[in-house]
Amino acid sequence: MQPGAGAAAAPAALLELSGIGKRFGGVRALAGVHLSARGGEVLALVGENGAGKSTLVKILTGIHQPDEGEIRLNGNVLSFANPLEAMRAGITAVHQETVMFDELTVAENIYMGHHPRTGGVPRVDWRRMEAQAEKLFERLEVRLPVRAKVRDLSIAQRHFIEIARALSQEARVVIMDEPTAALSRREIDELYRIVAQLKASGTAVIFITHKFDEIFAVADRYTVLRDGEHVGEGRIADTNEQQLIALMVGRAVTQIYPKTATTPRETVLEVQDLSHPTEFDSVSFTLRRGEILGIYGLIGAGRSELMQALFGLTAPSRGKVLLDGKPLLARTPRDAIDAGIVYVPEDRQHQGAHLEMTIAHNVTLPRLVDFGWWLLGKFRRELELVRRFCERLQLRAANFGQLVAELSGGNQQKVVLAKWLATNPKVMIVDEPTKGVDIGSKAAVHQFISELVAQGLAVIMVSSELPEVLGMADRIIVMRQGRVQREFTRAEATSEAVAAAALGATA
Amino acid sequence: MKSDVFKLREVQLALILVVLVGIVGARAPVFLTGKSIDSLLTDSAILVMMALAQMLVILTRGIDLSVAANLALCGMAVALIGQKVPGVPLGVLVLVAMALGAVLGALNGALIGLLRLPPIVVTLGSMSVFRGMIFVLSGGAWVSSHQMTREFIAFPLDRLLGLTHLVWFAVAAALIAWFLTRHTRFGRELYAIGNHPVSAGYVGVPVRRRLLAVYAISGMVAGLCGYLWVARYAVAFTEIAYGFELSVIAACVIGGVRIAGGIGSVAGTVLGALFLGVISNALPVVQVSPFWQSAITGTVIVVAVVFNAREGRRAGKQILPLQVRTGEGA
């Protein structure tokens, strides 16, 4: 810590950044970013993926060092050589995917690195540590056994541990990086309550999220980053969703869900009474060509497991699946693909692309069986297939022999879609297609799904994002605890009714 | 068509190898004679074959620590059969060695592929089991040269078109491995499994069957090498090829095969094995103590890993993706 230029900063700001710049090699990640967080306030840090939010968080927590600019805490200029220094200065972060010591207890996780010691021969003072941990949870009004192993806890509970850890170090600035990504509604409410408590105790909270309802629910002020630059800030009370989106993407996004009206045609897929010993029970539904069936539900409602059963990844115990009126028994994904069902799994980073393989090899992978065992001399045929589908998706690449790792995120996604389209599917299951994806790319994915459906594909879209389901689906099935709770037509579905069904309320 | 970076790495490795041979040759011209190079290739042949099989395993994010023990067990088995049952033709003995090796490898493969157990644990266990089995089979006794037929011993070092059979086996193994990895669905699927195992399953790759097959192949090659080893050195005992699995894995790593799977080439692996062969053959020629030999080998491995890691990092890091990159790439 370097005591700096005294009380030059505005008195209200606890944390003040100015002119922060950071480059990685030739790539500029941040330039001239300024930000101020006040004690007792929640600042929403908003921006698309790649806008520089994560880099900024890493600078604040001492993982990266800025190339230029100043960090002031309470008016003192600081610089952090490593995460420990940032933590000692009072800045801590709660990450979206919490990394913890699974095999250790709650109390140990909280005090890792600063265990209370006994006098004399220094050793860990277990009793004091556990008592202090309990006091922290009392303060947060959260019930958590401090001797439980973290392995057995939910993601929400892990967040609470991180927050307790922050409190244990008397953190003055707490950064929350998409803390609600994997939480249920109830857990989110509890998190909000804790955020309110942190505020009340004078802590500055920096809240990073992609979800607008959260911004408006918890934040007092906002700062928007775009392409590594500061593009706007202000009070939440003075803005609205449209304005924030316009700031984030640099243009007004008028139509977020490009839903094209299609008339569903004949039934392709019929699921009757499908059951699994532990995950889901007597699920029935139909799917028609040219429609999107949305499957909504809380995490753990059995949605993904149901889809995996349709795709031959798990075996159902009972029930029937009819594809084009013929019974389909998919024991392996191969069977499902051959029959015309494909499953695009949830994968935040790469949507399941094989990064170290070429574009061509990625695209032909699911159809490689058609080429037989020997591939020698079939290069031209493979390339033809690749070209057909890549052109359809307007994939830009120097050549199809390029590694997928070298492509931009958007183009990687196109490679994955080309791969699945190349199998000529009748039914496409997409699992959380836009989770963790920024708004610009989200719209592109939705646009693309709409186009496919217009061409007669049948799509099952599993999603935890209510606006996405409401915006895209023709019909919505709500699952709860492994059963179909209710089915809505597009006209019937309101966000209140669908959410209520997912929670099990009788609306 | 394939990425230039990879070509470069193998070309670099080849250049380093040539320079190394050149330096040693300058200090001790004996090293550059045809006879010396012939024995270098013959000495490296088994390592080349084993490294190629290991490469296939590592491509799938696996590892096979049991190869040397498998080699020793199969070698002992055929030596004993040759001793106890005289008139068995050599061809049959070789096939028996390969079949036995394949079965042992398939056991690993079944545990890893079907039961989803971690490869390092499974093969660590089977390594000890196989070593123990050698003792059980032989009762701890040696099979020495006078208990083997002349034909049995002579075959590996017999010559065809001027090169030893060992070298021809290695050449054949390299060609087969190259064809397998570049021109078959099987090979393509191995890369897919190593690159992204979950996604490979989702595109319909029968991951379990492929894993089973890859460990069986690894075992089969170990079995073949078991015969070649025993015949070449004209002796079989419990400890032959002790610790050899580490040289095999080292050859892969030096050759640029990524331990985390999905990356590796036949050319790189062959060069990696030859590199180790050159070090072990050249250092005695220039009077470097064998203790330095293992230090040098170790340093080379670490340097290779550093290179591989840097390569990976460059591909992964990109902070401002979409606009910046599509702008450049269009």
pLDDT digits (tens, 9 = 90+) for B289-315: 878 878 887 888 888 778 776 665 444
When the pLDDT of each residue in chain A is averaged and rounded to a whole number, the result is: 83
**pLDDT for res B326:** 31
- CA B315 – CA A406 distance, rounded (Å): 7
**Chosen domain end from A168, A202, A224:** A168
Q: Which two tokens stand for residue A132?
A: 């202090």
Of residues A299 and B289, more confidently modeled: B289
- A345 closest CB neighbour out of B198, B319, B329: B198
- A408 closest CB neighbour out of B198, B202, B322: B322
From residue B231, alpha-carbon distances to A184, A303, B70, B147, B323 in Å are: 67, 60, 16, 11, 63
The answer to whether B186 contacts chain A (CB < 8 Å) is yes
Residues of chain B with Cβ-Cβ distance to A339 below 8 Å are none
Domain membership of residue A128 (yes or no) is yes
**pLDDT for res B328:** 33
Domain membership of residue A306 (yes or no) is yes
Instruction: Tell me: do A321 and A333 sit in the same domain.
Output: yes
Domain membership of residue A42 (yes or no) is no
- CA B87 – CA B82 distance, rounded (Å): 8
Q: Which two tokens stand for residue A371?
A: 């080429």
Instruction: Tell me: do A464 and A319 sit in the same domain.
Output: yes
Mean per-residue pLDDT for A270-293?
Answer: 90
**Chosen domain end from A424, A458, A484:** A424
Write the pLDDT tens digit of every residue in A106-160.
998 888 877 888 777 778 888 888 998 998 888 878 888 888 888 888 777 888 8
Write the pLDDT tens digit of every residue in A368-399.
888 888 888 888 888 888 888 888 777 767 78
Phi, psi of A4 (to 5 degrees): -115, -145
Out of A81-95, B6-20, B235-249, pick the least confident: B6-20
The answer to whether A227 contacts chain B (CB < 8 Å) is yes
Mean per-residue pLDDT for B34-42?
Answer: 89
Instruction: Tell me: do A431 and A384 sit in the same domain.
Output: no
Domain membership of residue A219 (yes or no) is no
Instruction: Tell me: do A384 and A401 sit in the same domain.
Output: yes
The answer to whether B325 contacts chain A (CB < 8 Å) is yes
The answer to whether A397 contacts chain B (CB < 8 Å) is yes
How many CB atoms sit inside 10 A of residue A373's CB? 10
Give a three-class secondary structure readout of B6-48: HHHHHHHHHHHHHHHHHHHHHHCHHHHCHHHHHHHHHHHHHHH
Amino acid at A199: K
Partners of A173 in beta bridges: A91, A204
Distance from CA of B6 to the nearest CA of A (A): 11
- Looking at the 3D structure of chain A, how many domains does it have? 3
Structural domain containing residue A137: 100-153+160-168
Mean per-residue pLDDT for B143-168?
Answer: 88
The answer to whether A445 contacts chain B (CB < 8 Å) is no
Do the chains contact at A375 and B185, CB–CB below 8 Å? yes
pLDDT bin (cut points 50, 70, 90) of residue B324 is very low
Residues of chain A with Cβ-Cβ distance to B316 below 8 Å are 405
H or E element in which residue B197 lies: helix B197-202
B window 203-242, beta carbon within 8 A of A? 203-206
The answer to whether A251 contacts chain B (CB < 8 Å) is no
Helices (H) and strands (E) in chain B, counts: 14, 4
**pLDDT for res A4:** 39
Mean per-residue pLDDT for A15-21?
Answer: 91
- CATH for B4-329, among 3.90.550, 1.10.10, 1.10.3470, 2.60.220? 1.10.3470
- CA A440 – CA A248 distance, rounded (Å): 9
R_g of chain B computed on alpha carbons: 21
Q: Is the pLDDT of residue B152 over 80?
A: yes
Instruction: Tell me: do A449 and A506 sit in the same domain.
Output: yes
Domain membership of residue A257 (yes or no) is no
- CA A60 – CA A81 distance, rounded (Å): 11
Instruction: Tell me: do A364 and A417 sit in the same domain.
Output: yes
- A373 closest CB neighbour out of B1, B2, B185: B185
Domain membership of residue A53 (yes or no) is no
- CA A379 – CA A368 distance, rounded (Å): 12
How many CB atoms sit inside 10 A of residue A416's CB? 24
Q: Is the pLDDT of residue B320 over 50?
A: no
**pLDDT for res A8:** 39
pLDDT bin (cut points 50, 70, 90) of residue B154 is confident
Write the pLDDT tens digit of every residue in A253-269.
444 676 767 777 888 99
Amino acid at B84: K
- CA A294 – CA A304 distance, rounded (Å): 12
* Surface-to-core class of residue A34, CB atoms within 10 Å of its CB (0-12 exposed, 13-18 middle, 19+ buried): middle
Q: What is the CATH number of the domain that holds A484?
A: 3.40.50.300
Write the pLDDT tens digit of every residue in A74-99.
888 888 888 888 888 888 888 766 67
Of residues A163 and A288, more confidently modeled: A288
Instruction: Tell me: do A445 and A480 sit in the same domain.
Output: yes
- CA B7 – CA B12 distance, rounded (Å): 8
Distance from CA of A17 to the nearest CA of B (A): 20
Domain membership of residue A240 (yes or no) is no
Q: Is the pLDDT of residue B330 over 70?
A: no
**pLDDT for res B218:** 97
**pLDDT for res A64:** 87
**pLDDT for res A63:** 86
Instruction: Tell me: do A393 and A278 sit in the same domain.
Output: no
- CA A193 – CA B257 distance, rounded (Å): 51
Partners of A342 in beta bridges: A428
Write the pLDDT tens digit of every residue in A304-336.
889 989 999 888 888 989 999 889 888 899 999
The answer to whether B189 contacts chain A (CB < 8 Å) is yes
pLDDT bin (cut points 50, 70, 90) of residue B93 is very high
Q: Which two tokens stand for residue A333?
A: 């994904």
**pLDDT for res A348:** 52
Q: Where are the domains of chain B?
A: 4-329
Q: Is the pLDDT of residue A6 over 60?
A: no
The answer to whether B188 contacts chain A (CB < 8 Å) is yes
Write the pLDDT tens digit of every residue in A416-472.
888 888 888 999 998 888 766 666 667 777 888 888 888 889 999 998 777 788 888
Mean per-residue pLDDT for A22-48?
Answer: 85
Do the chains contact at A406 and B315, CB–CB below 8 Å? yes
Yes or no: say if B223 and B101 are a contact pair by the CB < 8 Å rule.
Answer: yes
Indicate which of B175, B181, B308, B322 best probes the interface with A, i.e. most A CBs within 10 Å of its own CB. Answer: B322
A window 75-104, beta carbon within 8 A of B? none
Write the pLDDT tens digit of every residue in A191-212.
888 889 888 888 999 998 877 7
When the pLDDT of each residue in chain B is averaged and rounded to a whole number, the result is: 86
Instruction: Tell me: do A336 and A464 sit in the same domain.
Output: yes
**Chosen domain end from A424, A452, A471:** A424
Indicate which of B9, B185, B202, B259 best probes the interface with A, i.e. most A CBs within 10 Å of its own CB. Answer: B202
Which ipTM score applies to this complex?
0.78
pLDDT bin (cut points 50, 70, 90) of residue B62 is very high
Domain membership of residue A252 (yes or no) is no
Instruction: Tell me: do A275 and A381 sit in the same domain.
Output: no
Instruction: Tell me: do A368 and A499 sit in the same domain.
Output: no
Do the chains contact at A361 and B324, CB–CB below 8 Å? no
Q: Is the pLDDT of residue B45 over 90?
A: yes
